[in-house]
Structure 1
Amino acid sequence: MTQRQELLDFPGAEALQAAGRVEPPAPQAVAQALAAVQAAAHQDSPQPPVVASPGRRRLAHGRRILATAVAAAAIAAGVVAYNATEADQPVGHPKHQAQAVSAATFLDHTADVAYARPASSARYWKVRSKASHTGAKPSPAIDCYYARSMDAVYIVTGGRTHKKPGTFGWRLGPKELHSWNDLDRLPTDPAQLLTVMNSSKEYAGQSAFLQAGALLGESPAGPKLRAGLYRALARLHGVKLVGTVKDSAGRTGTELVFSGVVSTDRMVIDPKTSALLETSSVSTKGSDRGKTTRVTYLSVGPTDKIG
């Protein structure tokens, strides 16, 4: 039984289950971006011809410099558009300019945003989420409140509160995390986090991607740990940037994908807040091949009261 199934094991749960505009950057940021682009343009001096068509070669060289400068300046200004990166696209391809940002760059930028978020001292951590599975009726959203001790979870639905006693938490490699203090004791260094999350030999990489997603989506991980998890994903081989998408709730985010041993897994992240909006997994092997499991995090954050 999964943790979500355990949480829904209360009277009435069966009936219950049946039942962007982006603000413009600051003028100073725009000025810095323009300065970076102009500096790159000045560096584009003619080069001695080494191969045929030197004019075309100099043009390509200039475009490469400008594309790099534009990407770097846009990231500094916080206005970069994150799209998929295809290394084999020739310079001059229509998508080349918009696809200058890699998954690692996006994740490192997201880590900076996460690090700047305030830490929480609230009594509870509230997760409002909705799960869906291929072939099953859509489940309604549920509100879960995790107390700091994690010895019980309070589930609010239909105006009623159900207390679910027991031991709840998350995993990070072989570590079981059963309280907020356990999260605070985790390393925040990306390399150390990757070592712990990659402890599975068979599912290394995929295991890290899924565990990081669970912690970022549901847990009350502090700013330093959240930043460390994003930086760990930035260093995880196999993570690819898909680009700007809409999640199942219609919100705009940036999608990442990891093709693992038994499934293809995805995350949708809001780059402005560093919040994980949605995770999904499509089975690629066995009798469940082609089936999708999706969890949409409608709102996640601290609160001092239930309801």
Structure 2
Amino acid sequence: MTENSVIAPVAAKAVGLDLTLPAAPVREILERAFAEDAPGGDITSQLLIPAGARATAVLNARVPGVFSGATVFRDAMQLVDPGTEVELLLADGDRFDAGTHLARVSGRARSVLLAERVALNLVQRMSAIATRTAEFVQLAEGTRARITDTRKTTPGLRILERFAVRCGGGANHRYSLSDAVLAKDNHLAVMTGGDPARLTELLRAAKAQLGHTTHFEVEVDRMDQIEPVLAAGVDTIMLDNFTLDELRQGVALVAGRARVEASGNVNLNTVAGIAAAGVDVISIGALTHTVASLDLGLDVELTAG
């Protein structure tokens, strides 16, 4: 996102997206992060900062964006020192301008300084994802298309990054390989053994083994695969790297018999056209795998002691 980007108000809360995070996995992420960042404490602060010194600092936005990670920032500060006071000035999903104060922290200076980098790293990345998602959502506005993430997330941080997508008004795809069936090109190549004529038969047999609540999605990369896949009774068909003309033809061919997902070659320049083609879902790996952390800083306002 550029400093001059314009973001419409985020609709995450209006559409009822879940903007809560479970405490246990967040704490586990934070504990791992602090074990990595300060395995023996913060020797710089221990050397330079008196034990009794206190500090007040603000989380300051240096560029506009959408806030995500408010409670993660708070929990990071208070995991280091439960006595640290954190006032959240904005909520997850709120839009902000450059210069906005997002949170205020008061406590022992050594504790604030030890927690600073872990807290900032996470809230900067989460807010970047929320901001990028909001840009995509805005460009798809007025169509039926839902913007979703993918499994292209940072290992160990998926729960935070998917939450950030929701803060930006997007939705989540399957969480893991255990949640739904998604047969992609490599699955189909192995399964059919090079005999595409058996595709419908093999998919139908596979679907018969699933429980009725398990979602079954199949990716296709050619127009002639659509009918054989639909004949197997799948729930969603993913049109991968189709041109806009092909997407429109694909949507017409499906004709409501399954949900249509578009994926591949989706960016801020192409998403509006893809959404206008009539697809139901647009999955975008770039929501999480290529964002640059948003420029937020923790600035000390006052010290005492």
Above 0.5 in TM-score?
A: no
- In which range does the TM-score fall when normalised by the shorter chain? under 0.3
| The structure with more helix, counted as a fraction of residues | 2
